[in-house]
Amino acid sequence: MAKAFSGIQPTGEIHLGNYIGALRNWKPESGSYYCVVDLHSMTMPWDPAEMLRNSRSTAAHLLALGLGEPSRVFLQSQVPEHAELSWILTCLGRMGELSRMTQYKSKGRGRQDVSVGLFAYPLLMAADILLYGVHEVPVGEDQKQHIELTRDLALRFNSRYGPVFTVPEPRISEVGARVLSLRNPQEKMSKSDPDPNSKILLTDGDDVIRKKIMTAVTDSGREVYYDPDEKPGISNLLEIAATLGGEAVEDLAARYRDKGYGAFKGAVADIVIGAVRPLRERVLELLASPTEIDEALERGRSHAHAEAGPMLDSVKRAIGLLVP
Ligand code: AMP
Ligand code: TRP
């Protein structure tokens, strides 16, 4: 397995979209790093107490998934090389290419009151990845464009200053790369959605999960089949259940085609409950043990710093900065 790097923002609780789109593809290989990107969560206004609570809780989820050993879990702000390389890349990135980022366009373009960080954020993300010399970046569909920018920056840097950076590849699954909101299947499932019924959390109990799935917004008609344009709600549930149940979407759809939405949703709920329960139990156990979380984060910080420090020195040498 190639070494991987990925990140997740501590802006709220981890949901099934995070798990299916990204976390289930994060593997605990030696040399891989999984980062709670707290500096990324500052592009929009934040509450300091909530930031720290969410950072620990997000870390607990990653540790519960077994990513703390031999791969490492750490907090971005504890490894100062991220912010430093980010500035260097800010001077390499171009206004034009950053203006084309769809996430910025949807949240900030044309507004005078958003932070500069919201615009510059993909450069910090590029720094995260490039510090670790990894080939693979497992993410959901919404991050693809940012990884393409990272590749462009790495190639531009290498051609100007010499071969310092590994050029990474996004790793995006074919099914489940964009899990949709249960309340509005035109939108992706999102941490920032205020409606708790729009998403399933990894800490939700069995009954809560069942209720959210049984009341999920579905489409007109009665037949169960996969067609994301005509049947976005049903297709979303098919993708969720197929990925978690380890079955092909078509096979699952064929079994429920004529059984009606109610029976289908009941089956989806069973699959999701079965997949989430063991994760929830481990997450809750770890959340009750903050010392264990902090100790794992300290080990993660020290390994990440040992990797990122020499890489930043190579960058500095290549661009003519004095390395002590
Ligand atoms: P975020 O919550 O924005 O920090 O995202 C963490 C990871 O989860 C990233 O790799 C995202 O691409 C992925 N992700 C977030 N929301 C979804 C979703 N609704 N469907 C699939 N992947 C997602
Ligand atoms: N921008 C990503 C998101 O919002 C999180 C992220 C930050 C990330 N740095 C990263 C993902 C590096 C992969 C690699 O979801």
Q: In this structure, are residues 304 and 74 in contact, taking their beta carbons and an 8 Å threshold?
A: yes
Ligand 2 centre distance from Cα of residue 6 (Å): 6
State which ligand 1 atom lies nearest to the alpha carbon of 15. Answer: 16
Using one digit for the tens of pLDDT, what is the confidence trace for 10-55?
A: 998 999 999 999 999 999 999 999 999 999 999 999 999 999 999 9
Is the distance from the beta carbon of residue 143 to the nearest atom of ligand 1 less than 6 Å? yes
* 213 in contact with ligand 1, CB cutoff 6 A: no
Give the residue numbers annotated as catalytic, written as ranges: 107, 188, 191
Distance separating alpha carbons of residues 273 and 289, to the nearest angstrom: 24
Residue type, 173: S
Strand 169-171 with 136-138, pairing: parallel
- DSSP symbols for 27-70: ---TT-EEEE-GGGGGSS---HHHHHHHHHHHHHHHHHTTTTSS
- List the one residue out of 192, 194, 216 whose CA is nearest residue 268: 216
3-class SS at 24?
Answer: helix
Centre of ligand 2 from the C-alpha of residue 168, in Å: 13
Which residue minimizes the CA distance to atom 11 of ligand 2? Answer: 7
What average pLDDT does this structure show over 177-194?
A: 96
CA 282/CA 149 separation, integer angstroms: 36
State in Å: Cα 189 to ligand 1 middle: 8
Measured in Å, residue 220 CA sits from the centre of ligand 2 at: 36
- Ligand having the closest approach to the CA of 191: 1
Whole-angstrom distance, CA of residue 242 vs CA of residue 295: 36
Give the distance, in angstroms, between the CA of residue 90 and the centroid of all CA atoms in the same chain.
23
Question: Quick count: other Cβ atoms within 10 Å of Cβ 263?
Answer: 12
Write the DSSP string, 95-143.
HHHHHT-HHHHHHTTT-SSS-HHHHHHHHHHHHHHHTTT-SEEE--GGG
Tell me: the pLDDT tens digits for 112-170? Answer: 999 999 999 999 999 999 999 999 999 999 999 999 999 999 999 999 999 999 999 99
Tens-digit pLDDT profile for residues 71-114:
999 999 999 999 999 999 999 999 999 999 998 998 888 889 99
Neighbours of 257 (CB within 10 A): 13
For residue 8, the CA-to-ligand 1 centroid distance in Å is: 8
Residue with CA closest to ligand 2 atom 8: 7
Place of tokens 């984060």: 297
Handedness of CA 22, 25, 27, 32 (dihedral sign): negative
The predicted pLDDT at position 269 comes to: 98
pLDDT recorded at residue 1: 66
Kindly report the backbone phi and psi dihedral angles of residue 120, in degrees, each rounded to the nearest multiple of 5, phi listed first.
Answer: -85, -10
Give me the half-sphere count of Cα atoms (radius 13 Å) on the Cβ side of residue 143: 24
CB 244 within 8 A of CB 275: yes
pLDDT tens, position by position, 250-267: 999 999 999 999 999 999
Q: Which ligand is nearest to the CA of 136?
A: 2
179 Cβ below 6 A of ligand 1? yes
Residues having CB closer than 6 A to ligand 2 are: 5-7, 9, 37, 40, 125, 128-129, 137, 139, 143, 146
pLDDT at 60 over 70: yes
pLDDT score recorded for residue 108: 85
Question: Among 83, 61, 67, which residue's Cα sits nearest to residue 31?
Answer: 67
Chain-wide mean pLDDT for the chain?
96
Strands (E), the chain: 5-8, 33-36, 72-75, 136-138, 169-171
Residue 21 Cβ inside 6 Å of ligand 1? The answer reads yes
The residue-averaged pLDDT of 264-273 equals: 98
Q: Which domains does the chain have, with CATH numbers?
A: 5-177+290-319 (3.40.50.620), 196-284 (1.10.240.10)
Tokens 């609570």: give the residue.
Answer: 53
For the CA of 86, the nearest ligand: 2
Q: Give the Å distances, CA to CA, from 205 to 13, 164, 275, 299.
A: 14, 47, 12, 31
